[in-house]
Structure 1
Amino acid sequence: MADAQVGSDRYRQGMVTRRKVLGEAHVDRAQAAATAFDQPFQELITEAAWGAVWSRPAWTLRERSMVTIALLAALGQDDEVAMHVRATANTGATREDVCEALLHVAIYAGVPAANHAIKIAKRVFQEMDAGSAAEGQTGR
């Protein structure tokens, strides 16, 4: 379903924020993969998570990014942790920020959860670095 087909202002704002945080390519892939079965879910997360929460002005995208990574790590949501670590390239959260968030996870949610999330973050950062290096070589 195209973005313009959903009518609420909150959905439209959510889509803007979602694209800003996760990137055009990621959101385009998610939209293209949506089926009649999961389309209502895609609309819900775009409107509620991205439009109602991530779009609020009190916190920056960087701050929301750090909190989100910590919460996802505490909950053991590996795929979501990886996706949001990738999104730090768009939110302004630094690797130091991610490290600090995961130190909080260790204390408040447990060392095993933080240890696992640190492994995920290290892998994602290595992939991001490899992608940046490859882009630099092809851009000559």
Structure 2
Amino acid sequence: MGELHQPSRRYREGLAVRRSVLGDAHVDRAERASTDFDRPFQELITETAWGNLWARPGWTKRERSMVTLALLAALGHDEEVAMHVRATANTGATREDICEAFLHVAVYAGVPAANQAIKIAKQVFAEMDAESGAK
């Protein structure tokens, strides 16, 4: 652990995509919080989720964002739902897109999962609106 190595091309691509979706502030916080213990995990998700999956051609960031939100909501990963709702400011997924994704969750994964995701999204939207001065 803690061993220094040259990041792979896929890691570098993943880091760029991760920053473009989640924002520099989020990624910088995650990197600062990383320790020798969890650094391998951070490298894994950056290379695999962001460099192998989110960087693939074929789907837009908007489409990936909607699918990701639906999956996270269906699985009850509330913190990740909040993070990815916030990330839609960078992916192009609209509030209407998010609503549609959560309607799918209600039918295919259960009303309680969708209800919780909608509650989280409303809270995140209120925070985002307050930050931007919108109503």
TM class by smaller structure: over 0.9
1:81 to 2:46 alignment: no
Q: Which residue of 2 aligns with 1:66?
A: 66
Instruction: Calculate the aligned-residue CA RMSD, in Å.
Output: 1.0
The two structures have a TM-score, normalised by structure 1, of 0.91
Deviation readout 1:45-76 (Å, 9 max, x if unpaired): 00000000000011000000000000000000
Q: Which residue of 2 aligns with 1:97?
A: 97
1:56 to 2:69 alignment: no
Question: What is the alpha-carbon distance in structure 2 between the residues aligned to residue 70 and residue 14 of structure 1?
Answer: 22
Gaps (5+ residues) in structure 1?
Answer: 135-140
Matched letter for residue 80 of structure 2: E
1:2-81 equivalent positions in 2, closer than 5 A? 6-81=6-81
Question: What is the alpha-carbon distance in structure 2 between the residues aligned to residue 102 and residue 113 of structure 1?
Answer: 9
The two structures have a TM-score, normalised by structure 2, of 0.94
Corresponding pairs, count: 130
Shift of 1:7: 2.0
- Identity percentage of aligned residues: 75
Question: What is the alpha-carbon distance in structure 2 between the residues aligned to residue 7 and residue 131 of structure 1?
Answer: 35
Question: What is the alpha-carbon distance in structure 1 between the residues aligned to residue 124 and residue 67 of structure 2?
Answer: 18
Q: Which residue of 2 aligns with 1:137?
A: none
Gaps (5+ residues) in structure 2?
Answer: none
